[in-house]
Chain A
Amino acid sequence: MSRLNLSRRSLLKAGAAGLAAAALPMGLARAQSPIVLGAVYVGPRDDFGWNQAHATAMEILKTVPGVTVIEEENVPETDAVSQSMESMINLDGANLILATSFGYYSPFVVELAKKYPDVQFRHAAPLWKEGDPANAGSYFCYLNQGHYVDGVAAGLSSPTGKLGFVAAKPIPSVLSNINSFLLGAKKTNPAATVQVIFTGEWSMPVREAEATNALIDAGCDVITCHVDGPKVVVETAEGRGVKTCGHNASQAPLAPNGFITGAEYKWSTIYAMYADLLAKGEPLPNFVAGGYHNDMLQNSPYGAGATPEAIAAADAAIADLKASKPIYVGPLKDNAGNVVIEGEMDNYDPVLDGMNYLLEGVVGSIT
C-alpha cells in the first residue's frame, strides 16, 4: 500500500482531472459490472440547502449508462444510517454508497466499510485519513471560499459593518466558514465584525428564527448562516428588511430585496468525475477536495442587496481564489487574543481542517 502515501495536498493541487489520473489503486470490486449507487441524505432532498445541493448533483449520475441510483432521505446520524446502508447493500445490491452527512462517517461508514470490503463508500466531509478502510473515502468542497466571497460583498453592502452569522455547531468546517466570512468582510471594511449565534442543531427552525431576530435586534444588518436549511433564516431576515447572504444552495428567490450572494457547492463536478470513472470502470480516488480553483464551488447570482462596488469586489475575490490566492494570511489572532495563524496558509492546508477557534472580530464563543 505504499502508493497510499501520496500527499493529500498534491492530490488537491492536481485538481479533479489530475485526480482521476492519480487515482489510488483500490478499485471497485466489480468495476465493469453495473453500478448500483446508494445515496443517503440526512434531510429532505429539497431543503434549499445541504441536501438539495447533493440531490441536484446526484441527477448527473443518473444519466450515466449502467448506473442505478437509489436514494434515501431523512436518515438520522445514528445506527439508522448503518441499517439504511446495509439494506441498500444487501437488498438493492448497492456497490457504491455516498453518505452525505458529517456524522455518518465514524463509526457507521468506517464499520460498514470493514464489514463489506467489496463495497465502495464515499463520504462528504474531509474525514478519511490514511489507515481508514481502503474502500472508504471522502469528498469535500471548501465552502469557506464561498463564504469569503460573501464576506467581501457583505462588507460593502452593510452600512454598519455589523454582520450576523447563525451557525449550527462549532465543528471546524462551520468555524472556517465564519472566519472566512469575517476575513472577506474585513478586506472591504476593516472595521467589520461578525456576531455569531450557535443553535446547537443542524435543523431547528424555531431557534434559527429566534437567533436571526436576536442578531437583528443586536444591530446586525447582514445575516448569513450555516445550518442545513437556510430558508428560515433568509426569510426571517428578509421579512425584517435586513440583507442576507446564502449558504449551500441558492436562496435568491426567497429574498428578492435583500439577497447579496451566497456560497454554493458544485458537487456536480465531483459526481460527474465519479460517473466518468465508473463508466470507464476505473477506481475512485479515496480523497477528493477542492474549491474555486478546480470548479467545485460557485457563488449564487447577485441579488438586489449587493451594491455595485460589492459586486465588483466579489468578482475580484473569486478571480483571486481561482488563482489560489490564500484567505488566511497571518498573523491572525483568535478572539481571545492568541496568535493562531503565523504566516500564509494555503487554502487547502490540512491544518485548517482542524480549526477550533473564532478569529478576532468575531463576537461569540465556541463552547
Chain B
Amino acid sequence: MMESAFITVLIAMLGGAIRVSTPFMFVALGECLTEKSGRINLGLEGNLVLGAMVAYAISFHTGNPWIGVLAAGGSGLILGALHGYICKLPKVNDIAVGIAIMSFGTGVAFFFGKPYIQPSAPRLDAIHLGDWTGNPALAQALQVNPLFFVGIILAVAMSWAFANTRWGLIVRMTGDSAASAKAMGVSVDWVRFLATAAGGFLAGVGGAFLSLYYPGSWNQGLSSGQGLMAVALVIFARWDPIRCIWAALLFGAAGAIGPSLQSVGISQGYYFFNAAPYILTLFIMIASARSKGAAREVPGELSITK
C-alpha cells in the first residue's frame, strides 16, 4: 500500500513536471535571454497573461489553436518591444518599467478578455507517449504537448548559441560589459531591445500554453503569479538556459506534491505541501547563491548587480 502510494505520487510528480512546467520554461527562457543582454524585464507576467488571453481569443475566432500560439507570441513581442523601447530612453529604470508593463499587460488582457471567459476555444492536442505502458495514470502523465519539446529544443539551441555563435557572443558581451560592446561597434541599446522583444515573444507563447492546453481555459486568475515565479527561476538557474529547463521541471513536479499526497490519503498539512514549490525554490536558491561561482555567472550589466 505504502509502496503503491509512493509510486502514485512519483507518477503525479512526473506528470506535474510535464504538464505544469512549460509556461515556466518559456518565460524563464525569455527572461534568460533578456537578462543575458544586461536588462531585467519583470513584466513577463503581463506577457504571460496577455498571451494567454490573445491565444484563446484568436483560437476561438480562427478555429486553429496554433495561430493562437503565434498571435500570443506576437502580443508578447509587442509588450517586450515596448519595454525595450522605453528602457532605451535615458535614466529609465528597467525594473520600474517592468512592473508597469506587468500591470499594463494584465490590465489589457482583463479588459479585452472579458468576452472570452465563457466560450470554449479549440485547444492544442497532446502527443500520447505513454499509451503503450497500459497504466492509465502513467499514460496520462506522459501526454505531452508539443510546446514542451519546443521549449527543450529552444533551451539547447540557446545554450549552444550563447557559446558558439557571433550573435550569442554579442548578447553576452552587451550583458557583461556595455563598454566593451561599444568599443566593438555594437549598438548596446539595439541588442537589448531585440533581446527584450524576443524574450517577450517567448513569454507570450508560454501564456498560450496556459489557456490552450493546461489548465486550458481563459480566466483572470489563470496565471496566479507564474510569470513572476519564472523570472525568479532564472536567478535560480543562474542564467543558464539548460538549468532553466531543470528549474521549471522541478517547480512543476513540486507543484504536484500537494494534490497527489492528498489523493493517496496523506491529507494532513496540505497548506504546507501546496507551498512545496516555493519552499524548495527558496532553499535551492539559498544553497546555490552561496557559491563563489554564482557571482561569476551574473551578467555584469544587470541593474540589480551594478
Report A's interface with B, CB cutoff 8 A: 43-44, 46-48, 74, 195-201, 203-211, 213-218, 228-229, 231-232, 235-236, 239-240, 253-254, 363-365, 367
Contact = CB atoms under 8 A, between A and B. Distances in A.
Contacts of B20: 206, 210
A206 B215 contact: yes
B153 interface: no
Nearest to B123: A239
B83 to A, nearest CB: 25
A217 B263 contact: yes
A229 B219 contact: yes
Nearest to B137: A217
Given A198-B270, A211-B262, A213-B19, 19 more contacts: A44-B117, A47-B219, A74-B110, A196-B262, A197-B259, A198-B267, A200-B258, A200-B270, A200-B271, A203-B224, A205-B221, A206-B210, A207-B258, A207-B274, A214-B256, A218-B8, A228-B221, A229-B219, A235-B120
Nearest to A362: B267
A175 B118 CA distance: 28
Contacts of B264: 218
Nearest to B23: A206
B270 A205 contact: no
B222 A205 contact: yes
B64 interface: no
Interface in B241-271: 255-256, 258-260, 262-265, 267-271
Given A46-B117, A214-B259, A218-B8, A209 B214 contact: yes
A206 B255 CA distance: 9
A188 B215 CA distance: 33
Contact of B263 (A218, A231, A365): A218
B216 interface: yes
B267 A365 contact: yes
B217 interface: yes
A210 B219 contact: no
23 contacts: A46-B114, A198-B270, A200-B258, A203-B224, A204-B221, A204-B224, A206-B20, A206-B215, A206-B224, A207-B258, A211-B262, A214-B262, A217-B8, A217-B11, A218-B8, A228-B221, A232-B215, A232-B219, A235-B215, A235-B216, A240-B140, A254-B120, A365-B270
Contact of A206 (B136, B214, B263, B269): B214
A216 B19 CA distance: 15
A250 to B, nearest CB: 12
Nearest to B262: A197
A236 B270 CA distance: 22
Interface in B176-234: 210, 214-217, 219-222, 224, 226
Contacts of A363: 265, 267
Contacts of B217: 205, 231-232, 235
Contacts of B220: 43-44, 74
B38 interface: no
B15 interface: yes
B118 A46 contact: yes
Q: Most B CB atoms within 10 A — which of A46, A203, A217, A235?
A: A217
Nearest to A208: B215
Interface string B99-139: 00000000000100010011010000000000000001100
Interface of B: 8, 11-12, 15-16, 19-20, 110, 114, 117-118, 120, 136-137, 140, 210, 214-217, 219-222, 224, 226, 255-256, 258-260, 262-265, 267-271, 274
Given A203-B221, A206-B215, A235-B217, A214 B226 contact: no
A204 B226 CA distance: 11
A251 B11 CA distance: 30
B8 A209 contact: no
Given A217-B11, A217-B140, A207 B259 contact: yes
A363 B210 CA distance: 30
B226 A215 contact: no
Contacts of A364: 262, 267
A6 to B, nearest CB: 39
A215 B15 CA distance: 13
A196 B224 CA distance: 23
A156 B216 CA distance: 30
Contacts of B215: 205-206, 208-209, 232, 235-236
Nearest to B268: A365
**A-B CB proximity, top 4 nearest:** A365-B267, A209-B215, A214-B263, A203-B221
A202 B229 CA distance: 20
Contacts of A215: 263
A326 B129 CA distance: 50
B224 A200 contact: no
Contact of A197 (B117, B137, B263): B263
Given A205-B222, A206-B224, A213 B117 contact: no
Contacts of A365: 267-268, 270
Q: Most B CB atoms within 10 A — which of A195, A228, A231, A253?
A: A231
B219 A44 contact: yes
A211 B15 CA distance: 12
B147 to A, nearest CB: 15
A207 B140 contact: no
B124 to A, nearest CB: 12
Contacts of A203: 219, 221, 224
Contact of B15 (A201, A205, A213, A235): A213
Q: Most A CB atoms within 10 A — which of B110, B224, B255?
A: B224
Contacts of B12: 210, 213-214, 217
Contacts of B271: 200
A211 B214 CA distance: 13
B217 to A, nearest CB: 5
A210 B224 contact: no
Contacts of B255: 206-207, 210
Contacts of A198: 262, 267, 270
